[in-house]
Structure 1
Amino acid sequence: MIGIAVEVAITRPAAQVWNVVADYARDPEWRRGVTAMEPSGPLAVGTTTDERMRFAGKGYRNGGVVETVGPGPTFTWRTTSGVTAAGRRTVEALGPDRCRVRLETTVEPSGFERLLAPVLGRLLQRNLAGDAARLRELVERGP
C-alpha cells in the first residue's frame, strides 16, 4: 500500500476553493494526467465517477464512488474498478480569505507494480504535490 498526502495554502475563501475541489468535472483542470472525469451528479454520498487518465505513459480507466461527505468541507472516495485506490479531500478555513487544502490518496499496486512501489510512491507524491500547486494557481487566478 502506498499512502501519500499533500497540503497547500490558498489565498481564497474556503467556500470558493471547496466549489472547485468538490466538483469532479473540474478535475482535468488541475489534476495532471486526468483527461476526462465524468461524475454521475453533484457531490453526495454515492456519487459515481468515470475517470480516464494517463500515468507513467500508461492509460487507465477508473470507476469511483464518493463514500462520505462532511462533516465540514471534506469527502472521501474509493475506486470501484481499475486501480485500487482511495482518498480524501479536505478544505480548512484559515481566515476569511485563506484556506488549506489537504489531498490524501492510498494506492494498492498490483502485479509487477508491487515491485516498483517505492518508485511509484515517489512519482505519485510528486504528481499530487503538482496537483495541489495547479489547484492553488487555478483558484487564485480566478475565473
Structure 2
Amino acid sequence: MQIQQQLKISANQFSQHILNSIQYELKEYGQVNVDKDHIRAGITYKKPLTTQMKQTDHVTVEITKLEKSPFEYEATFDSTQGRNTIRYSAKDLNENECLVTYEEDFVGKDTMKKLNHKLMRVFYKGRSKRRIHYLLNAIEDHVLKGE
C-alpha cells in the first residue's frame, strides 16, 4: 500500500517529528536515551503492538534506512505473524509544504499467514488508508501548533 499526501509543513519539520517519535520509542521501549543526531539504520528494539484484530503482539523493530536529506525512513516490524515494513519519504514542494509518501508491506511467516493477510487486506484496506491520512494530518497539526 502506498499513500502520498501534501502537508503544510516543510520536509525538515516532518522529519524532525518522525525523529522525535523514534527517540521517544527508543527511550520508552529500548530503554536507551539516544540523541536525535545518533539515530541511525541498524538500531533495534522490542515493543508491544496492537494488531488490526485488537490483539497485542510483541514485535522487534529495526530501523533499516534513515537518510536525513532528502528524508527517507524505513523500519521493519518482525512478529509471530511475519514482517511488516513501513517507509516514509518527504520532499519539499516549497518553503512551507512537502509531499510525504508512506508505504507499507507485509510478508507472512508461512503460506497460511500470507493468504490470511491478503484476505484481511481486502477488508481493512479503506480503514488502513484512513488511518494513515489521519496520522499524517495529526503530524501536520502537531507541528503547526508547535507541540
TM-score range, shorter chain: 0.7 to 0.9
Change over 3 Å in CA distance of 1:67–1:21 after alignment to 2: same
Q: Which has the higher helix share?
A: 2
Aligned residues of 1:10 and 1:140 also touching (Cα < 8 A): no
Q: Say what the alpha-carbon RMSD is for the aligned residues.
A: 2.6
Change over 3 Å in CA distance of 1:64–1:124 after alignment to 2: farther
TM-score (norm. length: structure 2): 0.71
In the alignment, the residues of structure 2 paired with residue 26 and residue 119 of structure 1 have an alpha-carbon distance, to the nearest angstrom, of 34
Q: How many residues align?
A: 131
Please say if 1:47 is aligned against 2:43. yes
User: 4+ runs of 1 displaced by more than 4 Å?
Assistant: none
In the alignment, the residues of structure 2 paired with residue 66 and residue 49 of structure 1 have an alpha-carbon distance, to the nearest angstrom, of 9
Q: Which has the higher strand share?
A: 1
1:113 alignment counterpart: 113
Aligned residues of 1:11 and 1:140 also touching (Cα < 8 A): no
Unmatched segments (≥5 aa) in structure 2 = none
SS at match of 1:74: strand
SS at match of 2:50: strand
Summarize deviations over 1:37-91 as a string: whole Å, max 9, x none: 7355343111223232212122111101112222521022223454312232111
Unmatched segments (≥5 aa) in structure 1 = 28-36
The higher relative CO (CA closer than 8 Å, separation ≥ 6) is in: 1
Please say if 1:72 is aligned against 2:70. yes
TM-score (norm. length: structure 1): 0.73
- Share of identical aligned residues, percent? 10
